[in-house]
Amino acid sequence: MRYNIRLSIGYIYGAPSDHARTLVRLLPSDLPGRQLVSSRLLSVYPMPDERRDTTDFFGNAMSVLAFHQPIEQIDLTVAARAERLQPSDSLDLSPSLGALAPEVAQYRSLEAAAPHHYLGPSKRIGLEPAIAEFAAASSDPRLTVLQTVDAITSAVHSVMRFDPGATDVDTPTGEAFANRHGVCQDFSHITIAALRSLGIPARYVSGFLRTIPPAGQPRLEGADAMHAWVAAWCGAEAGWIEFDPTNACMVGTDHVAVAYGRDYADVAPVKGVLRTSGDQTSQHSVDVEPV
């Protein structure tokens, strides 16, 4: 499935801000066998005094922006065309859960996609005893790794309630799990914590999700969303396989990936520092339109 993607994010400051520095991860990239990006453009207003377009350690497209003069707002606009390829319906080539650790140990690389980076605690996903207990109760040692990931994803979806007002970007993973509600970031962090507690490498994925309006209703502009899901390393043969715990499904052609990392802290779409005072307001709009 091929899409035209349009995104706009705007920040308005209560007082002029100077010396603002911002990291932006909003551009999708090619993913061999999974995703093709034919065009992508990040526009910034006002024009930054410094801009450097690069990639981070995990291979994500990243723009580093610096403003040396006072500014009252920042507007970020993305225009991209991306094609998400249909995952192949292949056999389950993953090992048993008990046989996964030796396969991880035999992985002789520390490249960005190496499973070693995604096994231990990370900045936003620590050791969570309650989630580990939940994962143990939701899994079966007789299952393969792929079956275990599917079981954990389904279990998280069944106990969590999607509630956009229940958490914010800084809500701890353990708190969201204890309260049993949250958004896609929380669903993904909880799933990753559960998988890592079982010894399954898991990473956080940010991207775009196409939404389909109810039958007979028009598609609303700006109603699509940035989204988050999970990739799990299912052994040397199966590799990384992506699951969406918020929607209890494997990732398919409705998901366009933007960035991969250990958790949200590695892939935050926009983050930075600035000096200002007063209130700050923001707005965002996303369109993922099939071509």
Residue from 235, 230, 234 nearest 246 by CA: 230
User: Residue 48: is its pLDDT beyond 70?
Assistant: yes
| Tens of pLDDT, residues 207-220 | 999 887 666 665 55
pLDDT at residue 222 in the model: 46
Residues of the chain with CATH 3.10.620.30: 97-266
Residues of the chain with CATH 2.60.40.2250: 2-85+269-290
- pLDDT interval class at 140 (50, 70, 90): very high
Q: CATH number of the domain at 97-266, out of 1.20.1250.20, 3.40.50.150, 3.10.620.30, 3.40.50.720? A: 3.10.620.30
Place of tokens 């204890």: 178
| Tens of pLDDT, residues 107-122 | 999 999 999 999 999 9
Mean pLDDT score, 232-246: 96
- pLDDT interval class at 59 (50, 70, 90): very high
- pLDDT interval class at 225 (50, 70, 90): confident
User: Residue 223: is its pLDDT beyond 70?
Assistant: no
User: Residue 262: is its pLDDT beyond 50?
Assistant: yes
> What is the model's pTM?
0.93
Does the domain spanning 2-85+269-290 belong to CATH 3.40.50.300?
Answer: no
